[in-house]
């Protein structure tokens, strides 16, 4: 007897994400625990009867369903889009903890003129680059960007008049997905920011580790060695695999790959750090520690600090722990270790250790701040507005000239609009956006957005100016 | 020799707890002692009424829980409490405890470490509630923080290094619960080199890790305040106790309801949010491999909420739930509000019937899991 399970999605990028499922019989005994993959049919051979399926997503969220095992039972489908507020959010909701949608909207005053910019390190120097020509979705409860980061360190900076400036480390990816959501409350608005590479195995492993589900991470990460071995094609995934194997003390499964990661990917500090901790842990477990190996580990920790902050928060923790380990060993008398600790102390103090990638409050990649900065940067270089521009900022940002005449058009009447019903049950608008909610589809199709009703002389609806701001196309001062 | 809050002579592996609640800070404003100069450099630190009560609540729950249900039976609880002047008797009139000065905490920690090391299958539980600050690691403030003018942090200890040091000590199962702020203030980070406090324990580059099962939870993220209610148990501690009581329980291969370390880590954020009414994410430790901490003697309580869509159907529905081997509970007459009830975890038949036949009756079987389960019944109008 058997039944079949499908975790269904119409988000292409989610296909194949490994997810852990527990099966309980009608007496509540756990009779099976295994990994299934999104959009792949999984068969469970179990005696006839009623079962409960407990699906633990990498985000840490748990879905519970009951199912009957009987001859000819139809497939049991779990629609992952039902837990996501938007089609564009499905991958984030499945993989990342936190973005549950707290009911806040970007249209609220606290989120006006919220901005982002992208910092890149080239030849050891950080600078703001042009805002990438990203694929983007702007919804009033979530904004998602997809852009490549390539083989060099990147940090995203986000801030606003009421949102403290924050730096977020971005892993190397061909297609990095960044999602920003409004959070906090009216008095203290904040944002939730998640980043995900295109590597589903690495992201699912990171998700389970962040949620505290090490066993689940272990179940899907039989291929953790594969992740690490793919270091040349996917260095960020290799780092995640390395951190997982360190966390589970699977030292023999690390092989000599951390050394290669450290040597071949010098732009990514995590490689040297993972190698340092591989050596430390090996010596700690050894009956006869070799001092030279510990010296090498010490050197690698110093190299890590020279290369910059680790991409992942797990790395930041390990970096501090490692440096303190050698600081204690030297009774505080090792000036190089002390200097390294002094260099990273402000970043650790300002870091948010609940985030998967290194995040800290700061006015730039090299400056962590204990007194958070607020407002718009004076420099407009590479600046993109996340959702709405505060009306007071339209002139200072050069989006509308002072003295420009405005007039108000009545909001458009609902309909008509063209759309198509898709095979997977969504309404697809002419511009390609898909919706499961007819009202949301109608609102989006008709642009019932007051920014389209206010029209500026010469430059058209204010929405056009806002759109330029969102795409990082602010005019030079 | 300090008199223990609880001590039982138990052979074999046992659980040993050290519980610290710091509410009275002699050298902070209104603490009764010499107040440190420029206290604002450490933010708005003052006297706290919640930590002593939170620590006592946690210790009392440990003591009152069934000792044999723990992975190792409870053998000792050492308690260090410094009450706030505004709440001098958190344990009741005339009930006193050893003060939570840094010397007292250090002495208690060393003794607790020795008790924990008697058997590698012991369970170590460390709980701290009080002021915390964030430097390159979390600094936890003892009641005599600021006593020495030359270095106020002689009255504090560095938590992360302490934790890293204890990982290299027995036993194999270790739980550290830190209910304290992690605010970054100028007095911590502005001085050259930053503020440092000594740890209670130190990690060693050549010492083996002895901990296989870790549950480390820190109640607030950097820059965040661990919120609580004056003279009440903190949100984090209330959530932690709920988790241990069964809010984080699940069944194992024997169908026993168990509370595992990883499930507590996974459930704690939603339990804290339920207590506080807003998200207050916790920081979690290395975890390693999960283990069962506590076995319940039956299914835990679950807050079950039943509702209908479309919404008007709720006002016409006779809602019911029916446990697997017991009778049906029915809500009658129909009401427009969702039905919230506390039930035991397990399989239930849930459903809605309509006496006026405006909608089709609907029912299904669901596994109702702790801590809360919301079920919506989709109905079709006639």
For chain B, what is the mean pLDDT?
A: 91
* Prediction pTM value: 0.89
Q: List chain A residues with pLDDT less than 50.
A: none
B133 phi and psi, to 5 degrees?
-130, 160
Same domain, B284 and B322: no
- CA nearest to A52 within chain B: B367
In chain B, residues with a C-beta closer than 8 Å to the C-beta of A97 are: 269
The pLDDT of residue B350: 97
Sequence-ordered list of residues with C-beta below 8 angstroms from that of B167, at least 6 positions apart, any chain: B174, B203, B209, B210, B211, B214, B286
Regarding whether B144 and B253 lie in a shared domain, the answer is yes
Distance from CA of B132 to the nearest CA of A (A): 13
pLDDT of residue A421: 85
Q: With an 8 Å Cβ cutoff, are B287 and A214 in contact?
A: yes
Contact between chains at A24 and B251 (C-beta distance less than 8 A): yes
Q: What percent of chain B has pLDDT over 70?
A: 94
Contact across the interface for A211 and B266, Cβ inside 8 Å = yes
β-strand partners of A456? A406, A460
Residue A188 pLDDT = 85
Exposed, middle or buried by CB within 10 Å (0-12, 13-18, 19+), for B146? buried
Q: Which residues is A408 bridged to in the sheet?
A: A454
Using DSSP's 3-state secondary structure scheme, residue B335 falls into: coil
> Three-class SS of residue B114?
helix
A187–chain B nearest CA distance, Å: 13
- What's the pLDDT at B192? 42
Same domain, A333 and A422: no
pLDDT at A19: 95
In this predicted structure, the answer to whether residue B221 has a pLDDT above a threshold of 70 is no
Nearest residue to A152 (alpha-carbon basis) of A300, A269, A65 = A269
pLDDT > 90 fraction of chain B, expressed in percent and rounded: 75
Which residue of A22, A27, A28 is the best one to mutate when testing the B interface, meaning the one whose CB has the most B CBs within 10 A? A28
Strand ranges of the sheet holding B301-309, from the earlier edge strand across to the other edge: B339-344, B301-309, B372-378
Give me the pLDDT at residue A415, please.
64
Helix residue spans in A330-447 (DSSP H): 335-349, 391-394, 438-446
Write out the residue range of the structural domain in which residue A413 sits: 391-470
Q: Which band of pLDDT confidence, cut at 50, 70 and 90, is reported for residue B326?
A: confident
- Give the span between the Cα atoms of B42 and B242, in whole angstroms: 32
Among B278, B295, B312, the domain boundary falls at B295
B135 touching A (Cβ < 8 Å): yes
- CB contact B298 to A (< 8 Å): no
Residue B338 and residue B200 share a domain: no
**How many CA atoms does the CB half-sphere of B374 hold within 13 Å?**
4
Cβ contact A284–B208 (<8 Å): yes
Closest partner CB to A215 (pick from B223, B290, B364): B290
Tens digit of each residue's pLDDT (9 = 90 or more) over B188-209: 655 544 557 899 999 999 999 9
> Could you tell me the CATH number of the domain that includes residue B130?
3.40.50.1460
- Mutation target for A interface from B197, B250, B287: give the one with most A CBs within 10 A: B287
| C-alpha closest to that of A177 among A157, A151, A200 | A200
**pLDDT tens across A252-283, in order?**
899 889 999 999 999 999 999 999 999 999 99
**Residues A351, A251 within the same domain:** yes
Cβ-defined contact of B364 to A54 (cutoff 8 Å): no
Q: Are residues B189 and B316 in the same domain?
A: no
Cβ separation of A214 and B289 shorter than 8 Å?
A: yes
Which of A27-41, A420-434, B156-170, B351-365 is least confident?
A: A420-434
pLDDT digits (tens, 9 = 90+) for B28-37: 999 999 999 8
Compute φ and ψ for A309, nearest 5 degrees. Answer: -80, 140
Interface test with A, best of B160, B164, B206 (most A CBs within 10 A): B206
Give A296→chain B minimum CA distance, Å.
Answer: 13
**Residues A420-457: pLDDT tens digits?**
887 767 788 776 667 777 877 777 776 667 788 889 98
**d(Cα B344, Cα A467) in Å, to the nearest integer?**
53
- B221 contacts A353? CB cut-off 8 A: yes
Domain containing B281: what range? 6-295
User: What's the burial of A324, exposed, middle or buried (CB within 10 Å: 0-12/13-18/19+)?
Assistant: buried
Q: Does B375 touch chain A (CB under 8 A)?
A: no
Last residue of some domain: B295, B320, B353?
Answer: B295
Query: Are B201 and B346 in a shared domain?
Result: no
Provide the number of structural domains found in chain B.
2
pLDDT computed for residue B186 by the predictor: 65
Q: Per-residue pLDDT tens for B262-302?
A: 999 999 999 998 998 888 888 888 888 899 999 999 999 99
């Amino acid at each position: 007897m058997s039944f079949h399970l499908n975790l269904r999605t119409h988000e292409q990028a989610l296909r194949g994400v490994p997810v852990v499922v527990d099966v309980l019989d009608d007496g509540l005994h756990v009779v099976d625990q295994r990994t299934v993959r999104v959009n792949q049919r999984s068969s469970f051979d179990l005696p006839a009867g009623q079962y409960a399926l407990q699906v633990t997503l990498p985000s840490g969220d748990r879905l519970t369903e009951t199912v009957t095992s009987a001859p000819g039972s139809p497939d049991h489908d779990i629609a992952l889009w039902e837990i996501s507020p938007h089609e564009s959010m499905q991958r984030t909701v499945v993989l990342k903890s936190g973005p549950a949608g707290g009911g806040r909207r970007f249209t609220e005053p606290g989120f006006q003129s919220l901005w982002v910019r992208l910092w890149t390190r080239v030849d050891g120097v950080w600078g703001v680059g042009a805002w990438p020509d990203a694929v983007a979705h702007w919804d009033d409860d979530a904004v998602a960007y997809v852009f490549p980061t390539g083989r060099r360190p990147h940090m995203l900076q986000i801030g606003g008049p009421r949102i403290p400036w924050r730096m977020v480390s971005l892993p190397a990816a061909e297609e990095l997905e960044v999602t920003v959501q409004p959070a906090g409350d009216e008095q203290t608005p904040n944002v939730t920011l998640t980043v995900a590479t295109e590597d589903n195995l690495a992201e699912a492993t990171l998700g389970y580790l962040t949620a505290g589900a090490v066993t689940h991470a272990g179940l899907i990460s039989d291929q953790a060695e594969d992740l690490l071995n793919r270091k040349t094609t996917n260095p960020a995934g290799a780092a995640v695999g390395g951190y997982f194997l360190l966390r589970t003390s699977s030292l023999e499964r690390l092989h000599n790959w951390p050394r290669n990661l450290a040597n071949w990917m010098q732009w990514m500090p995590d490689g040297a750090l993972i190698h340092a901790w591989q050596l430390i842990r090996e010596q700690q477990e050894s009956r006869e520690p070799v001092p030279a190996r510990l010296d090498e580990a010490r050197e690698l920790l110093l190299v890590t600090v020279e290369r910059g902050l680790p991409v992942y928060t797990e790395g930041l923790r390990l970096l501090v722990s490692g440096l303190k380990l050698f600081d204690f060993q030297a009774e505080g008398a090792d000036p190089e270790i002390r200097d390294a600790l002094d260099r990273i102390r402000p970043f650790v103090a300002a870091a948010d250790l609940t985030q998967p990638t290194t995040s800290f409050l700061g006015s730039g990649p090299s400056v962590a701040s204990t007194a958070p900065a607020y407002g718009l940067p004076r420099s407009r270089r590479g600046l993109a507005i996340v959702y709405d521009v505060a009306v007071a900022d339209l002139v200072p940002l050069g989006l509308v000239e002072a003295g420009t005449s405005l007039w108000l058009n009545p909001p458009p009447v609902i309909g008509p609009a063209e759309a198509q019903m898709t095979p997977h049950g969504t309404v697809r608008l002419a511009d390609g956006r898909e919706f499961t909610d007819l009202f949301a589809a109608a609102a989006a199709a008709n642009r019932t957005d007051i920014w389209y009703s206010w029209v500026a002389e010469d430059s058209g609806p204010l929405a056009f100016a806002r759109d330029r701001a969102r795409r990082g196309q602010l005019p030079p001062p | 020799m300090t008199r223990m809050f609880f001590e039982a002579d138990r052979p074999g592996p046992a659980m040993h707890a050290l519980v610290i609640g710091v509410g009275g800070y002699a050298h902070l404003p209104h603490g009764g002692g010499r107040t440190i100069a420029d206290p604002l450099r450490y933010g708005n630190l003052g006297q706290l009424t919640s930590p002593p009560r939170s620590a006592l609540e946690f210790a009392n729950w440990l003591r009152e829980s069934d000792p044999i249900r723990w992975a190792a039976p409870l053998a000792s609880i050492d308690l260090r409490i410094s009450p706030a002047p505004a709440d001098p008797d958190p344990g009741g009139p005339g009930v006193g405890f050893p003060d939570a000065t840094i010397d007292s905490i250090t002495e208690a920690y060393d003794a607790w470490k020795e008790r924990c090391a008697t058997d590698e299958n012991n369970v170590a539980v460390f709980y701290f509630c009080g002021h915390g600050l964030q430097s390159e690691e979390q600094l936890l403030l003892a009641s005599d923080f600021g006593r020495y003018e030359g270095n106020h942090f002689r009255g504090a200890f560095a938590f992360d290094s302490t934790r890293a040091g204890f990982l290299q000590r027995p036993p194999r199962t270790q739980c550290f619960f830190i209910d304290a702020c992690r605010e970054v203030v100028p007095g911590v980070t502005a001085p050259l080199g930053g503020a440092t406090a000594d740890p209670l324990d130190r990690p060693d580059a050549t010492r083996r890790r002895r901990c296989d099962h870790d549950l480390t939870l820190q109640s607030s993220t950097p820059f965040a305040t661990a919120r609580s209610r004056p003279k009440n148990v903190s949100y984090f501690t209330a959530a932690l106790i709920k988790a241990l009581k069964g809010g984080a329980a699940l069944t194992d291969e024997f169908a026993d309801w168990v509370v595992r370390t990883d499930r507590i880590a996974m459930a704690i954020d939603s339990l804290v949010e339920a207590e506080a009414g807003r998200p207050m994410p916790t920081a979690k430790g290395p975890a390693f491999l999960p283990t069962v901490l506590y076995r319940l003697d039956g299914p835990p309580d679950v807050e079950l909420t039943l509702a209908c869509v479309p919404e008007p159907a709720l006002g016409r529905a006779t809602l019911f739930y029916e446990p697997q081997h017991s009778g049906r509970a029915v809500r009658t007459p129909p009401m427009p509000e969702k039905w919230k009830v506390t039930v035991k975890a397990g399989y239930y038949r849930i459903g809605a019937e309509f006496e006026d036949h405006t909608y089709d009756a609907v029912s299904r079987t669901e596994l109702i899991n702790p801590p809360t389960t919301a079920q919506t019944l989709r109905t079709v109008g006639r």
